[in-house]
Structure 1
Amino acid sequence: MTIWLLIAFSAMTAFAFRALPFAFKNSTALTQTQGSFYRFISYSAQAMLGVIIYDTAFNKRDALTLIQQFETLDALKLLLLVGTFLAVVKTRKILPAFFASLFIYVAAFVYLNG
């Protein structure tokens, strides 16, 4: 598979998942929040967000490299990601959980790096 074919496939699938809800806006498939079509579209968006967060937090390292080069700061990142997720689920507010985790991370980063 060439790089251009991979880029084209990625662009088409990313566009499809964003445009698909508009194509079915009057359909009962999107009004049923417990339906499989609605859940599929929601989960695919959340999975894309998860990939972006993982790449940003761990410098695009794969799992094997992450385990081999695991540091204290990586453990803190994992704990903060899980903690932020649980705080958002419990409070249903994203920004306070994000800023609290950001403050903890910056304080730990400054402390560990002098």
Structure 2
Amino acid sequence: MMLWLLISFAAVTAFAFRALPFAFKNTPALTHTNGSFYRFVSYSAQAMLGVIIYDTAFNKLDAPSFLQQFQIIDGLKILLLAGTFVVVAKTKKILPSFLASLVIYLLAFVYLNN
């Protein structure tokens, strides 16, 4: 029963955060970009993106397993993710930051595996 409750809660919240902007698209709550509702919807989308990135970068490990299996490449991933976040926040340009981080990661990956 608890599993189905969790699955239904996840489905409802995922749908709600994707549907709310369309339901309120012409209201002042979403047209006012400094408002709390607009920021909430925006942050929830960014949080979901963060979960996807974490799952991809660290193989869906929980925190204790991640710390037990920590390697140098994992530290590099954390630094690159944090650095990319800072650069994107300052420059507002995603693609150059992503490509620079990708090149750094690939070079480090090749270096560490040879």
TM-score with structure 1 setting the length: 0.92
- Counterpart of 2:14 in structure 1 is 14
Distance of 2:66 and 2:11 partners within structure 1: 28
Secondary structure of the equivalent of 1:61?
coil
Aligned-pair distance for 1:9? 2.3
Identity of aligned residues (%): 73
- Counterpart of 2:84 in structure 1 is 84
Alignment of 1:1-114 (within 5 A): 1-114=1-114
Write out per-residue CA displacement over residues 32-68 of structure 1, whole angstroms, 9 at most, x where no aligned residue.
Answer: 2222111111111111011111111110111121112
Number of residue pairs matched by the alignment: 114
TM-align CA RMSD = 1.3
Paired amino acid for 2:78: L
Distance of 1:91 and 1:39 partners within structure 2: 20
Distance of 2:87 and 2:29 partners within structure 1: 31
**Gapped regions of structure 2 (runs ≥ 5):** none
Distance of 1:16 and 1:90 partners within structure 2: 30
Aligned-pair distance for 1:28? 1.0
